[in-house]
């Protein structure tokens, strides 16, 4: 369960808990420490500049999962929006000068993200098997 966010709808929390999270994604990293997700959200808001595709939803976005091998974070974009976005945080602590930064991939639904996660997992799993 995503404990630190009281504004997530109960049905979304249930869907997140029921999702087959696959490496390298983990909902647990955010779940274990309530302040962990907030840090992602704060950095996300700092990095978004006026030209970014997610600029207008930044205040509503909530971190719900993260990758264990890089700085990608899955954000729920809020009740009115309903979409999800994977954002590769830069950890610059400021609005990025390039409108496309931080890099982001927007998904129409949690199901769309789950399909992408499964494809990522297959590629990641192959890469792990090739490591010496």
The pLDDT of residue 3 is above 50: no
SS3 state at 105: strand
Instruction: Band the pLDDT of 107: cuts 50, 70, 90.
Output: very high
Distance, in Å, from the CA atom of 95 to the CA atom of 55, rounded to the nearest integer, reads 10
Residue 2 pLDDT > 50? no
- pLDDT at residue 95, rounded to an integer: 93
Q: Pick the range with the lowest mean pLDDT from 40-44, 53-57, 84-88, 123-127.
A: 123-127
Position 129 confidence tier, pLDDT thresholds 50, 70, 90: low
Which residues 6+ apart lie within 8 Å of 115 measured at CB?
Answer: none
DSSP letters of 111-129? HHHHHHHHHHHHHHHHHHH
């Amino acid at each position: 369960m995503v404990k630190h966010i009281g504004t997530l709808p109960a049905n979304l929390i249930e869907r997140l808990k029921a999702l087959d999270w696959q490496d390298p994604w983990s909902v647990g990293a955010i779940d274990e420490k309530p302040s962990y997700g907030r840090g992602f959200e704060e950095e996300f808001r700092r990095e978004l500049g006026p030209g970014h595709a997610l600029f207008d939803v930044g205040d509503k976005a909530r971190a719900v999962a993260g990758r264990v091998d890089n700085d990608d974070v899955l954000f729920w974009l809020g009740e009115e929006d309903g979409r999800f976005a994977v954002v590769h945080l830069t950890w610059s602590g400021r609005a990025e000068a390039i409108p496309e930064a931080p890099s982001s991939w927007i998904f129409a639904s949690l199901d769309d993200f789950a399909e992408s996660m499964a494809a990522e997992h297959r590629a990641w799993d192959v890469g792990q098997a090739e490591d010496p």
